[in-house]
Amino acid sequence: MLPDTVFLTPAEVLHTDIAQILNAQVVKGLKGHLWEQWTLPRFLKKQGNPLLLNLANTAPIGYNNNLITIHDIAYLLHPEWNSKTFAAWYNFMIPKIAANAKHIFTVSGTVKSELVKYLKVNSNTVSVTCNGLGGIFTSYEPSKKYGKEKIILAVGTINQRKNQKTLIEAFLKSDLATEWKLMLYGNKSSLFSDTGIDFNELQKHNIQFVEQFSDSDLVEAYSKAAVVASLSLYEGFGIPILEGMNFGCKIICSDILVYRELFDGFADFCNISSVEKVVEQLNRLKSVDLEATQDYKSIIQKYTFGRAAKVVIESIKTIDNRAR
């Protein structure tokens, strides 16, 4: 971390322990997006317009000294996956902050290419950081008390993009439906359009939906799951895949460009053009050896937040040198 870094937060701090570690400075004012778009830029202008690093897609439109992070452009490529309000706001805001940003960070080469193609940004102003394991996952060591079970785990917010409906339908039609369990970990959000999943119906089958869970709960789920599945239609990175690898899970993922870029050679790619194709993929798990392990060490070491931080810091130093 750069020595003169200052972390800013609105008054409503969600993770007070992290805020204390970072010695975050509270900037009182409005809440939510209004804090970001009104309170924050006015505070920064009083501080002499310092460089502002934004890590979660959005940034103050009226502030012209931004470094921004764009994780994906699903809002632009598939607005139908989101609520109309969410899609309208992102389609208005992100092109503006991208055009004015001092530099842009993103999490894969695939998304970088999309930013250049669709937002018309200069390729030289975009750096790929990739994601990594965070929090409790970085310190986890596999415990002998957890043996792998006949569990397929899918982690992610319940929405059309994550394509959980196809996974559910394929699981119920597969030969695994009676002996295996499908576990869905993720919350439902009003920001996304309806998925058409009947969650009451799931209770009649070997399907468990977990909406409220802690990091420790997720660790236990990964520890027991033999397989992690991600059949997303579109992604910027795919952190649950990396988390699954960290726990020695077999990976089944959709055959999309970003997954090929990041995980080729470490995952089984699935044709998601039809439920029947996914059924074929799942049926191959009947003969899977639950005790077999795959060496994911190299890819876990490749994608880390430590490496991402180095990319960000070097970019900041370059911008500082140009300003002098």
pLDDT at 149 over 90: yes
Q: How far apart are CA 220 and CA 214, in angstroms?
A: 10
Tens digit of pLDDT for each residue in 209-249?
A: 999 999 999 999 999 999 999 999 999 999 999 999 999 99
Q: Hey, where are the domains in the chain? A: 8-133+304-323, 142-301
Question: Which residues are bridge partners to 184 per DSSP?
Answer: 154, 209
pLDDT at 49 over 50: yes
pLDDT at 2 over 80: no
Q: What does the pLDDT read at residue 54? A: 97
Sort residue 221 into left (φ over 0), alpha (ψ -120 to 50) or beta.
alpha
- Domain 142-301 belongs to what topology? Rossmann fold (3.40.50)
Residue type, 143: S
Please give the mean pLDDT across all residues of the chain.
92
Average pLDDT over residues 61-78: 96
Tokens of 280: 């074929």
Q: How far apart are CA 120 and CA 152, in angstroms?
A: 40
Q: How far apart are CA 131 and CA 295, in angstroms?
A: 20
Q: How far apart are CA 106 and CA 45, in angstroms?
A: 26
Q: What does the pLDDT read at residue 145? A: 47
Q: How confident is the model at residue 258 (pLDDT cuts 50, 70, 90)?
A: very high
pTM of the complete model: 0.92
Average pLDDT over residues 41-60: 96
Q: How far apart are CA 108 and CA 261, in angstroms?
A: 8
Find the distance separating the first CA and the last CA of the chain, reported in whole Å: 21
Tens digit of pLDDT for each residue in 8-27?
A: 999 999 889 999 999 999 99
Q: What does the pLDDT read at residue 144? A: 44
Q: How far apart are CA 310 and CA 27, in angstroms?
A: 27
Question: Which residues are bridge partners to 253 per DSSP?
Answer: 230, 269
Tens digit of pLDDT for each residue in 179-199?
A: 999 999 998 876 666 777 887
Q: What does the pLDDT read at residue 143? A: 46
Q: How far apart are CA 73 and CA 245, in angstroms?
A: 26
